[in-house]
Amino acid sequence: MTPLAGYLLVAALVFAIGLAGALTRRNAILVLIGIELMLNAANLNLVAFWRYGPHPEALTGMMFAVFSIAVAAAEAAVGLGLVIAIYRHARTADLDEINRMKG
Amino acid sequence: MTVVFWILAAVTVAGGLAAVMLKNTVHCALALTTAFAGLALLFMQLDAQFVGFAQILVYIGAVAILVVFAILLTRESEQPEKGVFSRTWLAGLAIAAAVFAVLAWAVLNSRAALPDAVGLPKPAPEVTVAQIGDALMGRYVLPLEILALLLTAAMIGAVLVAMHEKGGRK
Amino acid sequence: MANTLDQIFVLLKHWIMGLFPSAVQPVIGALLSVVTIIVVFPALFALTTVLERKGLGRMQNRIGPNRTGPFGILQPVADGIKSLTKEDIIPTSADGVVHFIAPLVLVVAVFMGLAVLPMGRNMQLVDMDAGLLFFFAIGASTELSIFMAGWSSRNKYSLLGAMRAVAQMISYEVPLLMSSVAIVMITGSLSLVKIVEAQNQYTWGLPHWYIFTPWGFAAFVMFCIAATAETNRSPFDLPEGESELVAGYFTEYSGFKFALFFLGEYLGMFSISGLGSTLFLGGWSAPLQVLEFIPSWFWFFAKVMLSIVVLIWMRGTLPRLRQDQLMNFAWKFVLPMTLLNLFVAAMWRFMGEGWLRWVVCSAILIVVYVGAGRAMMLRQNYGPRSYRYAE
């Protein structure tokens, strides 16, 4: 197994764990934690391909990863703001309770 | 495939597993921080030191603290009474397992399609921060400016969404 | 220009490394540097505790500790014995694992930050290309350990102290970074070694330290304010104020763990003073060209101890700031001033040599500082007190 395949497998594993977390937990914040894990796994994929792919001097993969980190931070902020707003309205952050469009 | 890689991979995967499986939400957030740290060290292992430091600074220094603050503000730090997994947890687990199976199959069986030089250990590229700065201001200046706009919009949006409504239902 | 006395520690290290086979030499070299840091800085910490207690005592018109040894010098020994032999009390409802890990994370993070500081000519542990970024990244990790300490104690006062401390540290992290970015911009490198070497030049015997430029002086003032807030020192020590919150986030810690928190806090002070000296005061370079015969590591530690003395002085003199006052100050005054400072630094660079750039840059900074300060003070109308209850 080449080093690249090793990194890609780790990234796939972390992605699957994040996906499982986002799909199976009740709490809204844990869904966001799962999403953050998925984004991180994608970043690992990008940097691994940058390192082992052709033309690492073009810095493309690394730049993509840096921008992805910044966008993920912004999305986490907005997502958590939304969770707080929903909690204030519905008095719970349990996603099985907040399953109707009517407030 | 050095020993360091296996240790870091184990730490990251363990942190991720703990982050989605633990009962106490704050413990999940701390396990997530461990996963972030493992990933940052993996980035540094891949000779992308700038990305590794940016990961520590942004994710551990800001996103983890955001998650923790949100947990405390929504009072989810007390023990839940109904169990932590949703009613449809089996379907979610099955989907995640299927996704991992497909990805692993793709990774392990794709070596035949690639030219021989790709994927084998190569000498590390010498990346200096000056080169990254040149790239950011030269080739990637448009994404940089759009990112600035995005961050401003996200900041204002997050403040507005989470603000107390004056005279609304408290 | 490597004087033997100047490089004596480097030569000693190479000599010891030479005694080992060449396969293990890098490991031995790294181990030696790490052991030196782990020995020297806690020793300085011990000295600083005595200095602080005597200094604060004198400022408050009393003598500090004077019973243990002449002038209380053996006080840290007594404190150490006390901390090590005290019973380690953990509340039953506390979260055991997190409670145990929190001081460890703090101490490890703070020691790692000391690795990139150049303590003399050729005397840094690692010369990283992005050394400053590494330092700030590690500094950001200390906030998490404070939160862990406060939350795991299951104590409302601890949690309140921890939230205040984390909010304060995040708020002041941005001015800390932005005031250092001006330095990075002018030097053109994130490496701390290159920043010191850029300041190691002399004109008419006076050094090129960045504090002697208008934007550098403004950045230094803002760096000092942000650094004092980052290390939770007075006047920003509301999270650990003894008269406010018992002891804030380390209320439930006793014995050795309390000593570890104390060590972590003081080492944080040392590392950020070291960073301030490196960025603004020229690191290991001597103040006057005639004084260059004194070794470089002496100058570095002299500057660090001077900063510590100023921090102790501020603690004894200034009253504490309220939480909303300090957050207001950070976001509404210091942050815009750091952005303006960046602009002024850029203008300085592109105006070329001469007296004109001194006048213009100083004028912009002084006018905005006075104007913005007055405007902010005018907006505070001191009317009758109004109460807002917690909902």
The mean pLDDT value for C222-236 works out to: 87
- pLDDT the model gives residue A103: 61
For chain A, counts of helices (H) and of strands (E): 3, 0
Mutate to test the interface with B, among A1, A7, A14, A94 (most CBs of B within 10 A): A14
How confident is the model at residue A76, as a pLDDT?
A: 93
User: Per DSSP, which regions of C63-155 are E strands?
Assistant: none
Chain C positions in Cβ-Cβ contact with residue B128 (cut-off 8 Å)? 129
Using a CB–CB cutoff of 8 Å, tell me whether C147 touches chain B.
yes
C130–B50 CB contact, under 8 Å: yes
pLDDT category at B170 given cuts 50, 70, 90 is very low
The answer to whether A98 contacts chain B (CB < 8 Å) is no
Give just the sign of the alpha carbon dihedral C3, C4, C5, C6: positive
Give pLDDT, residue C283.
86
A13 Cβ under 8 Å from any chain B Cβ: yes
Residue A103 lies in a domain: no
Q: Which two tokens stand for residue C95?
A: 């979260």
Query: Which chain A residue shows the shortest CA-CA distance from B72?
Result: A84
Residue B83 with chain A: CB contacts under 8 Å: 26
A77 found inside a domain = yes
**Chain A adjacent subunits, 3+ CB pairs under 8 A:** B
* d(CA A25, nearest CA chain B) in Å: 5
pLDDT at C382: 65
Say which of A34, A73, A75 has its CB closest to residue B62.
Answer: A73
> b vs e for A16-37, b when ≥16 Cβ sit within 10 Å of the residue's Cβ?
bbbbbbbbbbbbbbbbbbbbbb
Helices (H), C200-295: 214-230, 256-279
Helix (H) or strand (E) holding C206, with range, is strand C206-207
Per-residue pLDDT at B113 exceeds 60: no
Least reliable range by pLDDT among A79-83, B26-30, C245-249, C262-266: C245-249
The reply to whether residue B129 touches residue C137, judged by beta carbons under 8 angstroms, is no
Q: Does residue A95 form part of some domain?
A: no
Number of residues assigned to chain A: 103
Whole-angstrom distance, CA of residue A16 vs CA of residue A19: 5
Size of interface B-C (CB pairs under 8 A): 61
pLDDT at B49 exceeding the cut of 60: yes
**Residues present in chain B in total:** 170
Q: Facing residues of B85 across strands?
A: A25
A43 and B48 Cβ atoms separated by less than 8 Å:
no
Q: How far apart are CA C227 and CA C310, in angstroms?
A: 12
Predicted local confidence at residue B119, as pLDDT: 58
Residue B140 contacts A, CB cutoff 8 Å? yes
Rounded Cα–Cα distance for residues C76 and C45 (Å): 9
Show me where the domains of chain C are located.
91-377
Show the domain range for A50. Answer: 3-90
- Residue A101 located in a structural domain: no
Mean pLDDT of B92-117: 82
Q: Does residue A27 sit in helix, strand or coil?
A: strand
CA distance C378 to C370: 12
Shortest distance between the Cα of C129 and any Cα of chain B, in A, equals 7
Alpha-carbon gap: B158 to the closest alpha carbon of chain A (Å):
5
Minimal C-alpha gap between B67 and chain C (Å): 11
A6: Cβ contacts below 8 Å, ≥ 6 apart: B1, B5, B9
What pLDDT is attached to residue B24? 86
- The pLDDT, as a whole number, for residue B167 is 44
Query: Between residues 40 and 59 of chain A, which touch chain B (CB distance below 8 Å)?
Result: 40, 43-44, 47-48, 50-54, 56-57, 59
Task: Identify which of B35, C139, B85 has the alpha carbon closest to the alpha carbon of residue A36.
Answer: B35
State how far residue C344 is from chain B, nearest Cα, in angstroms.
Answer: 20
Q: What is the mean pLDDT of chain B?
A: 85
B to C contact (≥3 Cβ pairs closer than 8 Å):
yes
Between B45-59, B114-128, C120-134, C302-316, the lowest mean confidence (pLDDT) is in: B114-128
Q: List chain A residues with CB under 8 Å of B147.
A: 67, 70-71
Q: Is the pLDDT of residue A99 over 80?
A: no
Of chain C, the percentage scoring pLDDT greater than 90 comes to 33
Report the 10 Å Cβ neighbour count for C48.
Answer: 22
Minimal CA–CA distance to C255: which of C102, C22, C81?
Answer: C81
A59: CATH? 1.10.287.3510
Split at pLDDT 50, 70, 90, the class of C234 is confident
Q: Is A39 on the interface with B (CB under 8 A)?
A: no
Preferred mutation among C98, C100, C108, C133 to probe B, highest tally of B CBs within 10 A? C133
Instruction: Give dist(CA C258, CA C262) in Å, integer.
Output: 6
Distance CA A19, CA B96 (A): 6
State the average pLDDT over residues C215-225.
Answer: 93
Residue B150 has pLDDT above 90, yes or no: yes
Q: Is A101 on the interface with B (CB under 8 A)?
A: no
- The C-alpha atoms of residue C345 and residue C323 are separated, in whole angstroms, by 31
Q: Has residue C163 got a pLDDT over 70?
A: yes
Mean pLDDT, to the nearest integer, of C275-288? Answer: 90
| C-alpha C299, offset from chain centre | 17
Residues C321-354 pLDDT 10s: 888 888 888 998 999 999 999 999 999 988 888 8
Nearest alpha carbon to residue A11 among A35, A34, A41, A31: A41
- Put simply, whether C190 touches B (Cβ < 8 Å) is yes
The CA-based angle B71-B76-B81, given to 5 degrees, is: 160
| pLDDT tens digits, one per residue of A15-61 | 999 999 999 988 889 999 999 999 999 999 999 989 887 777 888 88
Distances (CA, A) of B118 to A49, B113, C292: 9, 10, 54
Distance CA C25, CA C120 (A): 22
Question: Residue A67: closest CA among chain B residues belongs to which residue?
Answer: B147
Question: What average pLDDT does the segment A74-83 reach?
Answer: 91
- Calculate mean pLDDT across residues A1-7: 83
pLDDT score of B165 more than 80 = no
Asked if residue A12 is part of any domain, the answer here is yes
Instruction: Please tell me the predicted confidence (pLDDT) of residue C73.
Output: 85
| DSSP secondary structure code for residue C245 in this structure | S
B112 CB-near residues (< 8 Å, 6+ apart): none
Of C89, C85, C45, the closest CA to residue C251 belongs to C89
Domain ranges of chain B: 3-80+89-127, 128-170
Q: Which residue has the higher pLDDT, C50 or C353?
A: C50
- Option in B88, B118, B143 nearest A52 (CB): B118
Q: ∠ CA B32-B35-B37 to the nearest 5 degrees?
A: 115
Phi, psi of B168 (to 5 degrees): -85, -175
Cβ of residue B34 closer than 8 Å to a chain C Cβ: no
The yes-or-no verdict on residue C149 having pLDDT over 50 is yes
- Residue B55 · residue B133 · CB < 8 Å: no
pLDDT of residue A33: 94
Residue A94 DSSP one-character state? B
**In the Cβ-directed half-sphere of A24, how many Cα atoms lie within 13 Å?**
24
What average pLDDT does this structure show over B58-70? 92
Average pLDDT of chain C is: 86
Quote the CA–CA distance of B5 and C3 in Å, as a whole number. Answer: 43
Do B70 and A29 lie within an 8 Å CB cutoff? yes
The shortest CB-CB distance from A85 to any of B55, B80, B161 is to B161
What's the structural domain count of chain A?
1
pLDDT score of C120 more than 90 = no
Chains in contact with B, where contact means 3 or more Cβ–Cβ distances below 8 Å, are A, C
Question: Which residues in chain A are closer than 8 Å to B62, comparing Cβ atoms?
Answer: 73
Is A71 in Cβ contact with B147 (below 8 Å)? yes
Cα C98 to Cα C258: distance, rounded to the nearest angstrom: 15
- Give the per-residue pLDDT at B55: 95
Helix (H) or strand (E) holding C207: strand C206-207
- pTM value is 0.90
Torsion angles phi and psi, residue B146, rounded to 5 = -65, -35
pLDDT band at C383 (very low <50, low <70, confident <90, very high): low
- Give the pLDDT mean for B152-169: 77
- What is the topology classification, in CATH, of domain B3-80+89-127? Four Helix Bundle (Hemerythrin (Met), subunit A) (1.20.120)
Show the CA angle centred on residue C43, arms to residues C39 and C48, nearest 5°: 150
- CA–CA gap between residue C191 and residue C210 (Å, rounded): 16
Cis peptide leading into residue C384 (ω within 30°): no
The model's confidence at residue B13, banded by pLDDT at 50, 70 and 90, is very high
Closest-approach residue (CA) in chain A for B129? A59
Q: What is the pLDDT of residues C53-75, one digit of tens each?
A: 999 999 999 888 888 888 888 88
Whether A contacts C, i.e. 3 or more CB pairs less than 8 A apart, is no
Phi, psi for C166 (deg, rounded to 5) = -70, -40
How does DSSP assign C296-330, residue by residue? HHHHHHHHHHHHHHHHHHHHHHSPPPPHHHHHHHI
C136 vs B57, B64, B69: nearest CB? B57
pLDDT of residue B169: 42
Q: Which of C129, C130, C140 sits opposite B60 (nearest CB)?
A: C140
Q: Which position has the token pair 């990961």? A: B55
CA separation (Å) from B129 to A43, B132, B143, C128? 19, 5, 18, 10
